[in-house]
Amino acid sequence: VSKTTKDQLGNLAAKSIDAGEIPAVILVRPQLGENIGAACRAMLNFGLTDLRLVAPRDGWPNPSADALAAGAIDVLNNAKLFPDTASALADIHYCLAATARRRELELPVVGTDVVGGELRTQINQGRHTAIMFGPEKAGLTNDDVVLADAIITYPINPAFQSLNLAQAVGVFSYIWAASESTAPPPVFDDVQSVPAKREDLVRMFEHLEKELHQSGFFFPEAKTDLMRRNIRAPFTRAKMTEQEVRTMRGIIKALAKGRGHAHKSVQYKDKTS
């Protein structure tokens, strides 16, 4: 049993969250309060305190989470609640999706041996990082995963892949803590551009999809979701910078607003001819 006082935990939680020096743990549509509580405890065991909950099934707060959080109740109380995955990721620059399932998505898989170093490198460059875990039964949907930069998958027994949610969080939290001594130093600090926040990327997707919808691109309509995911994947994978997202918004606008421009250019031609 921990001898740590509530005040100490509170300070740790507040300090770490403000500093942005640790990855956020995002539980997407978690089902059991017990797993949320147990996940909190495992997080704090390994120094993680930024918990985000996307639409927990049984509402929030959830009394059945409290008991299993044990001494990590402050992590639970500081958890942030979001209606959907995109809003939970709004301020995040680099996001991992934890999944054991095969995906049709073209996303890189980052090994458990290098993921801690990758996260620390990102954090050293001032980026906000996160890892997403899906609901107990179904795991993350493809719509969730396509918002991630990379997939992380554990070396799991193929004959028994059903990993408990809190265990999955615990293993990641351990990996994070164990990577402290192996983090590579930050390099090329001064030439790094600012990566786009997930929020900006999602707005770009919505802009593109709106224009594609209006041009009749999504056909047959039953395939719209699949097509949307396939369109999003390479853009996410490219880890676009803020400037590149702005450029892409300009491209979409220029191509879609062609009507006006074409009109002008026709008028211009007419004048010079």
Q: Counting Cβ atoms within 10 Å, is residue 21 exposed (0-12), middle (13-18) or buried (19+)?
A: middle
3-state secondary structure of 151: strand
- Region 199-228 residues binding a copy of itself, contact defined as CB under 8 A: 208, 211-212, 214-217, 227
| Among 19, 57, 91, 182, contact with a copy of itself (rule: CB under 8 A) | 182
| Among 97, 163, 165, 204, contact with a copy of itself (rule: CB under 8 A) | 163
Residue 193 binding a copy of itself, by CB under 8 A: yes
Give the shortest CB-43-to-a copy of itself separation in angstroms. Answer: 9
d(CA 183, CA 45) in angstroms, rounded, equals 20
d(CA 136, CA 35) in angstroms, rounded, equals 9
Q: How many CB atoms lie within 10 A of CB 75?
A: 27
| Among 20, 55, 154, 249, contact with a copy of itself (rule: CB under 8 A) | 154
Cα end-to-end distance, the chain, whole Å:
87
Residue 56 binding a copy of itself, by CB under 8 A: no
| Among 6, 8, 14, 57, contact with a copy of itself (rule: CB under 8 A) | 8
Encoded one letter per residue, x for contact with a copy of itself by CB under 8 A and - for no contact, window 16-45 reads ----------------------x--xx-xx
- 88 or 115: whose CB is closer to a copy of itself? 115
- 64 or 193: whose CB is closer to a copy of itself? 193
Give the shortest CB-58-to-a copy of itself separation in angstroms. Answer: 19
Instruction: Tell me the helix, strand and coil percentages in the chain, rounded to 5.
Output: 55, 10, 35
129 beta partners: 94
| Among 80, 103, 127, 203, contact with a copy of itself (rule: CB under 8 A) | 103
Q: Among residues 122, 135, 128, which one has the least CA distance to residue 198? A: 128
Residue 239 binding a copy of itself, by CB under 8 A: yes
